[in-house]
Structure 1
Amino acid sequence: MTTGIAVLNFGEPASADRDAVVDYLERIFLANMDIEGETTEEAARERARSLAERRAPGLMEEYGEIGGSPLNAHASRQADLVETELRERGYDVETYVGYQFMEPFIGDAAEAAHADGVDRLIGLPVYPLCGPSTTVQSLEKLADAVDDLDWDVPYHEITGYHTHSAYARLRADNIRRTLDREGLTLDSDTRLIFSAHGTPTYYLDEGSRYVQYVEEHTKMVAGMLGNPDYELGYQNHANRDVEWTQPDVEDVVENIDAERVVVDPTSFMHEQSETLSELDVELREEAEEAGLGFTRVPVPYDDERFVGLLADLTEPFIADFDPDYYGLQQCKCRPEPDAMCLNARRNE
């Protein structure tokens, strides 16, 4: 019996090609148009296109600075590593990469799995911190693709898993390795800053627990580092006239009382424009202008423990044993019968 695993991600253009960047941004804005209130489909598409064309030059400049985004390459490598790990455990699996906003799209991943005739399908978003516009939206796209194919396949989804001890440990160890490499210790002179992807507060008002997840994850990681003083900031994208999570990470850096900062991109599982440009270029400039030394912790996207964790999450559905043995229960953020996560018991 072959299991198909759809490894889901955001996607990002690999170069600064204008048409690719505009189309990519338009898809993002259109998919999240509900944060601006009710509108017609035609007006939503016009608004999304306008926003995309306005944002494109800045994003193209970022891609030019970093030599293109490696996100898709990192995501493909993760999928290959998960497939290899599960095959070494004796399972017959195939992985299929699908992106929310770039080719191959999530629908393409479903079509490929369908064409290969897999006997069951698992949706696995590579977003440890469950959010509505990432984890939930990507799984909605996959479920819709399966329905559009009129495909009666045993189907499972995995949502949030940031509380997995192996994940917190690998993030803590990754920070510790960076400190050791740079000869730093977290003290009054060197402050740890966790930088999380921001989200419009609209989603929080609608019931998303994303900020709760970010805060508890950073507290857990800090505890594994000996409970140093730390700050948490959000990378917000002020492309629309809507409120975002606070504080902005730029404001955190500007007001820090230390000599240097060590920044961990806590909600990212790939290097991409938001780490290589927003942090390594823009936030570094902010820090240096404030007279601060700046160190950025790399994303451990190919850490073998992360690969093992992703394999563990899928294993109950491949081996047909109770997911609760691994702590997986019915998800509350995506209340569908086939969606399971590690947060459900704590959200009761």
Structure 2
Amino acid sequence: MRFRQEPQYTHGTPSRIAVVLVNLGTPDAPTASAVRRYLRQFLSDPRVVEIPRAAWWPILHGIILPLRSGQSAKKYASIWSKEGSPLKVHTERQAALLQEALTRRGHEVEVAHAMRYGNPSVPDVLERLRARGCDRILIVPAYPQYSGTTTASVFDAVFAHLSGVRNVPELRLVKHYHDHEAYIRALAGNVLAHWDTHGRPDRLVLSFHGVPKRTLMLGDPYHCECRKTARLLAEQLQLPPEQCLVTFQSRFGKAEWLQPYTAPTLQQLAREGVSRVDVMCPGFIGDCLETLEEIAMEAKHDFLTAGGREFHYIPCLNEGADWIAALAEIAEQHMIGWPTILSPRDREAAPQLAEASRQRAAALGADK
């Protein structure tokens, strides 16, 4: 086996510590060709689709990619901003703010972001960090609730790349933070801020991304972790169970997925006379196609056309101060024992270093 060439090294160069925030990914543009490339990579992952390749390949390349690429491109176009894909924009900003927050807390680390599918890719970011002398790396998936279809796929990409590296960096992985107190507080603060402005709904619906029910039967803890997040959030908000509902969105194919499904639930609530619902998506830390188009547009239409009167979508955590502080706390806890603490002299200059770190993080995200 041939290993990748190691970066040039000068003896006496201090080692660096890096934190990598890894999100799912997004097409490079809201076009059929870009979406096709993205979907091909995404739906070729055996973690995402557990169907034998001999059966899946003709379906993927003969039906799904030709038909869904154009349809999905139109949906992406409906939420695309002048800065680009919302998921990409939020992930870049979160990484830059996390860099600033950790520096202000007295940690000398380098924060980068990567995408499991699309750009910047996990291998490219890991190589760039190694070239900068980072030999301790913390991987933070942008998925609060663990699933083999998401978190484990990120770990697969990291391990696959490092399997071709001679000098493997020390590695730590954040598996989940679905019940982390700071994450729950950030979610609750997001909801309460919305309610302070718009009043309270008749029902709060927590819509999580769906996965096939088969994964639950095979031991994937995702369903249980979603339920725990919902329970802890309801307790924080002091909501009785009947006012806080858990649903699952984004079904694909004919197999049974985790239930209850989001769209039918909203339609049923409207038919039962529920006037107003608020919907939030705790499983997404940044707004994206699944929240801005599927929930804020499609789900809203489903509820209103079924007889509901008022629909509110509560945005994701995005760049909220409470969430960035929570993310810094999560990263900080997983770096315990690593030499991240700034020297006393540098600690005095932390505010200036934080601004410089923010600019470096933004440059790193743009340097592809």
TM-score band, normalised by shorter chain:
0.7 to 0.9
2:330 equivalent in structure 1: 313
Aligned twin of 2:86: 70
Q: How many residues align?
A: 314
Partner of 2:233: 221
CA offset digits 1:212-247 (Å, max 9, x no partner) = 111111111111111231221111232x33221111
The question of whether the paired residues in 1 share the 8 Å contact of 2:43 and 2:49 is answered with: no
> Quick one: distance in 2 between partners of 1:37 and 1:105?
25
For 1:202, which of 192, 199, 214 is the aligned residue? 214
Give, as a single letter, the amino acid of the residue that structure 2 aligns with 1:21: V
What's the secondary structure of 1:314's corresponding residue?
Answer: helix
The 2-side partners of 1:176 and 1:316 are apart by: 27
C-alpha distance in structure 2 between counterparts of 1:108 and 1:277, whole Å: 30
Report the aligned-residue RMSD: 1.9
- Which consecutive unaligned segments of at least 5 residues does structure 1 have? 322-348
Q: 1:146 to 1:162 in 2, by over 3 A?
A: same
What displacement does 1:202 show?
2.7
Are the aligned partners of 1:36 and 1:242 in contact in 2 as well (CA < 8 Å)?
no
Question: 1:11 — aligned with what?
Answer: 25
User: Which of 185, 190, 210 is the equivalent residue of 2:200?
Assistant: 185
- 1:54 alignment partner AA: L
Structure 1 residue 45 displacement after superposition: 4.2
Greater Cα radius of gyration, structure 1 or 2: 2
Residue type matched to 2:87 in 1?
A: L
Counterparts in 2 of 1:22 and 1:282: CA distance versus 1, 3 Å: same
Contact conserved, 2:40 with 2:65, CA < 8 A, in 1? yes
Which of 270, 292, 298 matches 2:315? 298
Aligned counterpart, 2:224: 212
Q: Is the 8 A contact 2:174 2:334 kept in 1?
A: no
Instruction: Identify if the C-alpha distance between structure 1 residues 273 and 115 changes in structure 2 by more than 3 Å, giving closer, same or farther.
Output: same
1:288-322 CA deviation, whole Å, 9 max, x = no partner?
Answer: 1012110010112112222222222222454417x
Q: Is the 8 A contact 1:120 1:153 kept in 2?
A: yes
Of 132, 136, 148 in structure 2, the residue corresponding to residue 116 of structure 1 is: 132
Aligned residue for 1:320, secondary structure, equals: coil
Q: Where do residues 21-170 of structure 1 align in structure 2 (5 Å cutoff)?
A: 21-32=35-46, 35-40=49-54, 44-50=56-62, 51-67=64-80, 69-170=85-186
**SS at structure 2 position matched to 1:308:** helix
Distance 1:90 1:17, change over 3 A: same
Look up the SS of the partner of 1:199 in the other structure.
Answer: coil
Q: Using the alignment, how far apart are the partners of 1:35 and 1:14 within structure 2? A: 22
Shift of the alpha carbon at 1:36?
A: 4.7
What is the TM-score with the length of structure 2 in the denominator? 0.80
Please give the alpha-carbon distance, in whole angstroms, between the structure 2 residues aligned to 1:116 and 1:154: 15
Contact 1:80 1:95 in 2 (8 A): yes
Contact 2:27 2:37 in 1 (8 A): no
User: In the TM superposition, what is the alpha-carbon distance from 1:108 to its structure 2 partner?
Assistant: 1.1
Percent identical pairs in the alignment equals 25
**Per the alignment, do residues 168 and 33 of structure 1 end up closer, same or farther by CA in structure 2, a change over 3 Å counting?**
closer
